[in-house]
A = this chain, B = another copy of it.
């Protein structure tokens, strides 16, 4: 870090570094950026000291991990932009983007909040935005998405659906797709029949379970 000489790590050190990164990925995905470095160390079966020697602070660990994940969203966006059907492109991007954020809560938090630190992530977000604007613009041009939709509305939808997904995560990890579909049906300017629901609704037990879990989680 101090000098440019990138002497390779000792083999055991490199192994530990990987374990830390792996554990961080898992815990950040499950619990969001709130996951503590102590937890990560425990999960990686490594002392906290080891974590801190390798990653001077939490910010750097996060930066190291999430640049690539933001890349995935950008990739999804550009891939969608290359599709010929404007509606399919729009719908597929929204769905894929939500999938990524549901799998990884920390990713969602980084996408929806600004933090003075994390310039690399900030830059990543700024690369994504114009591509999303293009996807939306093309769909509106083609008349398959309502004219009055703004890009900022996509932020709201993502946040809302993401939180709903977190709510039912344990009991019914796919339930958010119902909400996604309702939203998509609400975004089309001209639509005779509703699209078919992709997954069944929550049963009573799943509802009870979600409400209980969420209450407990909040209390922590």
Contact = CB atoms under 8 A, between A and B. Distances in A.
Say what secondary structure dominates the interface of chain A: helix
Counting chain A residues whose Cβ lies within 8 A of the other chain, the interface size class is 35 or more
B201 A153 contact: yes
Task: Please give the count of copies of this chain that the complex contains.
Answer: 2
A168 B113 CA distance: 12
A189 B182 contact: no
A130 interface: no
Contacts of A100: none
Given A112-B167, A185-B185, A211-B113, A178 B193 contact: no
A187 interface: yes
Interface of A: 33-34, 109, 112-115, 146, 148, 150, 152-153, 155-157, 159-161, 163-164, 167-168, 175-176, 178-179, 181-194, 196-197, 201-203, 206-208, 210-212, 214-215, 218-219
24 contacts: A33-B218, A112-B167, A114-B208, A115-B219, A148-B194, A148-B196, A150-B201, A152-B203, A155-B207, A156-B164, A156-B167, A156-B175, A156-B178, A157-B182, A159-B163, A181-B186, A182-B183, A182-B187, A183-B183, A183-B186, A185-B185, A189-B193, A190-B193, A192-B192
